[in-house]
Chain A
Amino acid sequence: MQKTDWNTLSDEDFRSQVRAFFHANYPEHLRYPKTRLRWVQVKDWYLTLSKQGWLAPAWPQKYGGMGLTPPKLLIFMEELELHGIGRAPDMGIVMVGPLLIQHGTEEQKAYYLPKILSGEHVWCQGDSEPNAGSDLASLRTEAVLDGDHFIVNGQKTWTSLAQDATHIFMLVRTDKKAKKQEGISFLLAETSTPGVELRPIRNLAGHEEFCETFLRDVRVPAANIVGELNRCWTIAKALLSFERIGIGGPKQSQYAMARLEELALQLGLTEDQGFMDTYARYKLDVLDHAALYERFVDQVRRGETLGSDVSMLKIVGTENYQKISQLLVETAGSAGGLVGDVDIGGESFDWLTSYYNARPATIYGGSNEIQRNILSSQVLGLPS
C-alpha cells in the first residue's frame, strides 16, 4: 500500500495520476454500467483499488483512507465519473466507515475498518421496514438485551444488494417504552447469523436489486451497538442527509443527457425545432443543477456543515433525471417500448434502463415529497 500524502500534489498532478490509474486498471467492459454492479462483477476492481490504497478516499489516512481534502476528493470523484466507473457495493465505505470513525469504539474501528478495505466485509443498509418507509422513526424491529447479546426480531425491506452482503447495519428499537425517535440504536450484524433470512425482490425491470430481510431471534453481540444506546436517531438522520448530497449530484442526469444527445444525433433531430426546444430546456436544467450542486460542494470545501436546504439538490437532480429519461423514451418513437439494446440505424441504444433507473430516484433516500416537506417547514418555516 502506498503511503503518499496526496494532498501535497498539485491539483493537476493529482488529477492526471488518478486518471492514468483508472485508464490503466478499470475493466473496459464495466464502464458506464447500465444497472447496479453485483459483487462478483466488481470484486476484482474493488481489490485493485484496495491494493492501491484508494478505496476510501474520504477516510483519514490513519484508518487506511486517502485522507483527501474536500477539493482533492472532488477531483477523485469527478475522475471516477468521467471514466464511467460503476458503483461497487459501497455501503461499507460511504456509510459504515464514516459512522464508525465518528461514533465507533476503538475495538469496532480496529476490527471492522480493515475488513471493509480488504473486501472481506460487504455491507448493506437495513433502515426501511414494510411499515416504516418515509416514517422511518416508526420502525419496529426490536433488539432485546439477553446477557451479552441482543435478540433481534423484525423485518427490514428494500435492502439493496443484501444478497451480496456479509454484514448489515440496522436501525433497531432498543427501548419500546421511549418516545418514537428515542429508543433507536445502530446495530451491526453478520448476514450469516442464524435467524437472518434474505429473500431477493425483483424490481420493475426484472432484476434482483434488493431484498426482504427477515430477522427471527437473531443473536447479535451487545458490543455491536454503535454510539450510545437508544440515542441513535440524530446520527441516523445525519447519515441520511449525507446520503442526500450523494444522490443530489448531477451525474445521473448528465449521463442520461449524453444518451439523449447521441440518440438525437442518430435520428437527425437537430433540425427538429420541437425537439430542440425541449432539449434546450432540459440541457440548461442540468447545467443549472450542476451549478447549484457546486454551491453546496463549496460549502463542503470550506468545511461547513450542510443545512436542510440540501434537500433541493435531490429534488432538482432526480426530477431532471426523470424528465430526460422520459424524453429518451418519447424520442425513440414507435421503438419506445423495446427493452435492452435496441438497434437504431446500426447503433444500439437502451432508453428503458434509464427510464427504470430513474423511477425510484424520487422515492429512495427520502422521497421528493419528504424533501419538499423539509424545505417548506425547515427552510421556509411554514407552519405544519
Chain B
Amino acid sequence: MTDKPTPDAAALAERDDQVRLLRDSVIAFAAGRLPLMRARKLRKAQPEFDPAMFAELAGQGWAGLLLPEEFGGFGLGFAEARVVIEGLSAQLAPEPLVPVAVLAAGALRRCAKSARRDELLGALAEGTSVPAVAWQNVAGSLELEQPPFTAVRAGEGWTLEGEARFVRPGSGATVYLLLASTPEGVALFAVEPGSSGLEMKTEAQADGTSLARLRATQLRVSAAAALTLKREDLAAALDEALVMNAVELLALIVRMRAMTLDYLKTRMQFGKAIGSFQSLQHRSADMLIQEELTRAVVGQAVAALDDDVPQHTRTSMASRAKARAGEAAMSTAREAIQLHGGIAVTDEYDLSLYVNRVLSLAPWLGNAQAHRRRYVRLNPPVAASEG
C-alpha cells in the first residue's frame, strides 16, 4: 500500500472520458487519412515517411502531445499518448512519432534550458523539425555508460568523434541529437545532416523504413549546439520510448490476431472452416493469452509513467513491457503466418506488412531478450525474508 493521496474519483473518470474521446478521434483520423495502401506505397520511400503527413499529425497536436504548453505542447500524459500511438501503429503509419514525439521530445525537455533547446522543442511540437536521437553505440548497448561519441572542447565550441547506430528515423530527420561524453558528463549535440565531418549511412529494415548509422570524424560544433543533461534524464526518456514502443507492438499484435481469427472462420478446407480444427483452436487461444499478457503489462507500464513512480520501478516496468511486447509480437507474427498457410507469405496480403513491421520494431531499443536480462539485472533474486 502506498501512502500517496488517492486522486479523487471524479477527476479519474474525467480523464478516462478524455482519453476515450481522443481515441475515437484518432481512430476516425486513421480510418480517413491513413489507409494501409498508403503505408504499403511508402515502403522504401525517401524519406521513409511523408513529411506533409508528419506536419498534419503535428497539426492534430500529436507531435507535442507530451510537451508542456510553454513549448507549444499540450502537456498531456502517457494514457493519451498511448491511444494516439496505438491508432497510428494499427494502420502502420511510418511517421516516426515514437522516435520524435516521445524519445527526442522527452530527452530535449529534460536538457538544461537554452535557446537552442527551446527552439528545437517549439519546432518539434509544430512538426517543422524532426529530431533523431543517436544514443546507441555500434555494439547496440543499452547502457548509457559508453555513449557513441566523445566531445572535447575546441576553442569556443566542440569537436566530436565516434559512431552511433540504430538511429530512427533513418531518413528524413532534420536534426540529429548526438549523445557524447564530455569532461563534465554527457550532452546531446544538435547537428544538422550534411554537416562536414558527419558521415551518414542508412541501413534498410524489413518494413521498408531504415536506421541511420552516423560517424563523426573531427566534427566541429558550436557551443550553442551542446545541450547538457543528466544520464538518468536520458534514461527516463528512453523508458518512455520503450513503453510507447511496446504500445506500438501491442497494436500490431491486436491486428495480426484479428486477421488470423477472421481467416480461421472463413477459410474452408476439408469441407469446414479451418478454425474448427482443434490444433488451430488451441493455438489461437494461446495467441489470445499472449495478447492479454501484453495488454496487462503495457497498461501497468503506461500508468507507471503517468504516476511518476521512482526511477527504478519505472525502468523495470519499461523493460517488462518491452520484453513481453517484443516476444509476443514475434510469436504472434509466427503463429499468424502458420495459421494462414501459403497466403501469409505473400507480399500482397496485408499480414506481411504487419509481420515486417514487427521484425523492424521489436529489435528497436533492445529486443525482448535484452530487456528480460535488463529486468533481472535491476531486480536480482533475493532470499525470501524470514518470518
- A residues contacting B by CB (< 8 A) are 128, 131, 133-135, 138, 157-158, 201-204, 206, 274, 322, 326, 329-330, 332-340, 342, 352, 355-356, 359-360, 362-364, 367-369, 372
Report if B330 contacts A (CB, 8 A): yes
B residues within 8 A CB of A360?
342, 345
Report if B245 contacts A (CB, 8 A): no
CB <8 Å contact, B365 and A334 = yes
Of B3-11, B144-152, B198-206, which binds chain A? B198-206
- Contacts A340-B204, A369-B277; A204 near B362 (Cβ below 8 A): no
B residues within 8 A CB of A204?
337, 344-347, 352, 355-356
- B residues contacting A by CB (< 8 A) are 136, 140, 165-166, 203-207, 211, 268-271, 277, 279-280, 330, 334, 337-338, 341-342, 344-348, 352, 355-356, 359-370, 373
- Contacts A134-B270, A359-B337, A363-B345; A334 near B361 (Cβ below 8 A): no
CB <8 Å contact, A337 and B362 = yes
CB <8 Å contact, A128 and B342 = yes
- Separation of A202 and B352 alpha carbons in the complex (Å): 11
- Contacts A133-B341, A204-B352; A335 near B363 (Cβ below 8 A): yes
CB <8 Å contact, B337 and A334 = no
CB <8 Å contact, B205 and A337 = yes
- Minimum C-beta distance from B252 to chain A (A): 13
CB <8 Å contact, B347 and A203 = yes
- Minimum C-beta distance from B1 to chain A (A): 36
- Separation of A359 and B337 alpha carbons in the complex (Å): 8
B residues within 8 A CB of A135?
269-271
B residues within 8 A CB of A363?
337-338, 341-342, 344-345
B residues within 8 A CB of A138?
269-271
Partner of B206, one of A339, A367, A369: A339
Most A C-beta atoms less than 10 A away, residue of B344, B359, B370: B359
CB <8 Å contact, A203 and B365 = no
CB <8 Å contact, A338 and B338 = no
- Minimum C-beta distance from B94 to chain A (A): 13
Interface contacts beyond A359-B345, A363-B337, A363-B344: sample of 6 additional A-B pairs, CB < 8 Å, sorted by A: A135-B269, A204-B352, A204-B355, A337-B205, A369-B277, A369-B280
CB <8 Å contact, B352 and A133 = no
- Separation of A360 and B341 alpha carbons in the complex (Å): 8
CB <8 Å contact, B268 and A131 = yes
- Minimum C-beta distance from B360 to chain A (A): 4
A residues within 8 A CB of B207?
337
- Minimum C-beta distance from B127 to chain A (A): 26
A-B contacts, 18 listed (Cβ < 8 Å): A133-B269, A157-B342, A202-B348, A203-B347, A329-B363, A333-B363, A333-B369, A334-B136, A334-B166, A334-B367, A335-B363, A336-B359, A336-B362, A337-B205, A337-B211, A352-B359, A363-B337, A363-B345
CB <8 Å contact, B364 and A334 = yes
- Separation of A336 and B333 alpha carbons in the complex (Å): 15
CB <8 Å contact, B342 and A338 = no
Most B C-beta atoms less than 10 A away, residue of A206, A274, A326, A335: A335
CB <8 Å contact, B203 and A203 = no
CB <8 Å contact, B345 and A334 = no
Residue of A nearest to B209 (CB): A337
B residues within 8 A CB of A133?
269, 341-342
CB <8 Å contact, A367 and B367 = no
Partner of A335, one of B166, B334, B345: B166
B residues within 8 A CB of A362?
338
CB <8 Å contact, B341 and A201 = no
- Minimum C-beta distance from B205 to chain A (A): 5
B contact face: mostly helix, strand, loop, or mixed: mixed
- Separation of A335 and B140 alpha carbons in the complex (Å): 8
- Separation of A204 and B355 alpha carbons in the complex (Å): 9
CB <8 Å contact, B373 and A338 = no
- Minimum C-beta distance from B191 to chain A (A): 22
Residue of A nearest to B372 (CB): A274
Partner of B203, one of A158, A326, A338, A368: A338
- Separation of A202 and B204 alpha carbons in the complex (Å): 18
Partner of B369, one of A330, A359, A364, A367: A330
- Minimum C-beta distance from B196 to chain A (A): 24
- Separation of A157 and B349 alpha carbons in the complex (Å): 14
CB <8 Å contact, A367 and B346 = no
- Minimum C-beta distance from B259 to chain A (A): 15
A residues within 8 A CB of B279?
369, 372
B residues within 8 A CB of A364?
342
- Contacts A202-B347, A333-B140; A134 near B269 (Cβ below 8 A): yes
Residue of B nearest to A367 (CB): B341
Most B C-beta atoms less than 10 A away, residue of A203, A335, A337: A337
B residues within 8 A CB of A340?
204
- Separation of A208 and B43 alpha carbons in the complex (Å): 17
Residue of A nearest to B330 (CB): A326
Residue of A nearest to B351 (CB): A204
Most B C-beta atoms less than 10 A away, residue of A338, A364, A368: A338
- Minimum C-beta distance from B291 to chain A (A): 19
B residues within 8 A CB of A201?
346-348
Residue of B nearest to A373 (CB): B279
- Minimum C-beta distance from B305 to chain A (A): 22
B residues within 8 A CB of A369?
277, 279-280
- Minimum C-beta distance from A299 to chain B (A): 28
Partner of B347, one of A158, A206, A322, A339: A206
- Separation of A369 and B361 alpha carbons in the complex (Å): 29
CB <8 Å contact, B373 and A274 = yes
- Minimum C-beta distance from A224 to chain B (A): 27
A residues within 8 A CB of B367?
330, 333-334, 336
- Minimum C-beta distance from A138 to chain B (A): 8
A residues within 8 A CB of B269?
133-135, 138
- Minimum C-beta distance from B267 to chain A (A): 9
CB <8 Å contact, B373 and A336 = no
Most A C-beta atoms less than 10 A away, residue of B341, B355, B361, B365: B341
A residues within 8 A CB of B270?
134-135, 138
CB <8 Å contact, A337 and B363 = yes
- Contacts A134-B270, A135-B269, A274-B373; A334 near B366 (Cβ below 8 A): yes
CB <8 Å contact, A338 and B211 = yes
Residue of A nearest to B342 (CB): A158
B residues within 8 A CB of A330?
367-369
CB <8 Å contact, B346 and A203 = yes
- Minimum C-beta distance from A135 to chain B (A): 4
